[in-house]
């Protein structure tokens, strides 16, 4: 059965960030992830993980300057030092929280993102990320207009060009459906590269129990593939986090 991680940047936002760890554990999750762990000191997060018996499944590199609308630095020419500092920060948090997966945010086209920069930065970062996987996630252009990596095949090309064993694919079923569709076929095609899944339902990015996709069946496909990692719940609750967790029963899975 797939193992699920609560994304604390999307779920349990009814309470302050550090309190979400306990809320996730009480709801039945055994793991968490976050798009912005930097809301709290690493040692505080580590303490909350330990106190609640939780695994840190995934964290993102810092996004950059929020006021400028930055969505990562990895593909931005001239920002190499900033990117290296962002990776170093992510690795410090990963070490403190025993997290083995880091999503490397690429950046957006209108800030000058370039393929060669992305590949070179990832290759350099991969050498410093001992024992940690660096992941690329294709993100649809409706949610983040101009994001540098939208197509799964392009993410694969980057991964192959970098050629490092610790660089892999973060496959978000929601982003794939919105951008390209054909989710189940893509899951099978890219399975050798996938290190982490994320889920939500189009068109509203709500719980994975309504909308365009048959998640009950898709979870069965993940299970049948032998995938042993985590499935991140990166969705927007439609009517409160806890009330929305009934999706698990509806899909025939357990959170923990």
How confident is the model at residue 220, as a pLDDT?
97
- Which domain does 161 fall in, by range? 3-250
- Structural domain includes residue 12: yes
How confident is the model at residue 1, as a pLDDT?
80
- Structural domain includes residue 56: yes
- CA angle (154 as vertex; 227, 82 as ends), nearest 5: 95
Query: pTM above 0.75?
Result: yes
Rounded Cα gap, residues 143 and 216, in angstroms: 24
Both structure tokens of 120: 């070179």
- Structural domain includes residue 255: no
- Structural domain includes residue 224: yes
Residue 82, domain CATH:
3.20.20.150
Rounded Cα gap, residues 25 and 256, in angstroms: 9
- Structural domain includes residue 18: yes
Digitized pLDDT (tens) for each residue of the chain, 256 residues in all: 899 999 999 999 999 999 999 999 999 999 999 999 999 999 999 999 999 999 999 999 999 998 899 999 999 999 999 999 999 999 999 999 999 999 999 999 999 999 999 999 999 999 999 999 999 999 999 999 999 999 999 999 999 999 999 999 999 999 999 999 999 999 999 999 999 999 999 999 999 999 999 999 999 999 999 999 999 999 999 999 999 999 999 999 999 8
Number of independent structural domains in the chain:
1
How confident is the model at residue 256, as a pLDDT?
86
Both structure tokens of 109: 């086209």
Bridge partners for 136 per DSSP: 169
- Structural domain includes residue 256: no
How confident is the model at residue 66, as a pLDDT?
85
- Structural domain includes residue 195: yes
What are the φ and ψ backbone dihedral angles of 88, each rounded to 5 degrees?
A: -60, -40
Mind telling me the catalytic residues?
Answer: 137, 234
Strands (E), 90-193: 101-103, 133-136, 167-172
């Amino acid at each position: 059965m797939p193992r699920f991680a609560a994304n604390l940047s999307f779920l349990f936002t009814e309470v302050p960030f550090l309190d979400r760890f306990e809320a996730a554990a009480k709801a039945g999750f055994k793991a968490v992830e976050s798009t912005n762990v930097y809301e709290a000191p690493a040692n505080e997060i580590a303490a909350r993980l330990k106190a609640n018996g939780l695994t840190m499944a995934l964290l993102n590199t810092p996004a950059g300057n929020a006021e400028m609308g930055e969505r990562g630095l990895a593909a931005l020419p001239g920002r190499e030092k900033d990117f290296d500092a962002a990776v170093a920060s992510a690795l410090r948090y990963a070490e403190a929280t025993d997290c083995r997966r880091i999503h490397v945010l690429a950046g957006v086209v209108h800030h000058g993102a370039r393929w060669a920069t992305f590949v070179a930065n990832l290759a350099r970062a991969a050498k410093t990320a001992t024992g940690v996987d660096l992941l690329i996630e294709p993100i649809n252009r409706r949610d983040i207009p101009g994001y540098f990596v939208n197509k799964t095949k392009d993410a694969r090309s980057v991964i192959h060009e970098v050629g490092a064993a610790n660089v892999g694919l973060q496959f978000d079923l929601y982003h794939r459906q919105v951008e390209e569709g054909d989710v189940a076929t893509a899951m099978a095609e890219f399975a050798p590269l996938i290190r982490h899944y994320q889920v939500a339902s189009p068109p509203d990015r709500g719980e994975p129990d309504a909308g365009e996709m048959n998640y009950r069946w898709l979870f069965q496909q993940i299970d049948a593939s032998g995938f042993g990692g985590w499935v991140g719940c990166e969705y927007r609750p439609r009517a409160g986090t806890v009330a929305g967790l009934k999706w698990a029963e509806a899909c025939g899975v357990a959170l923990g």
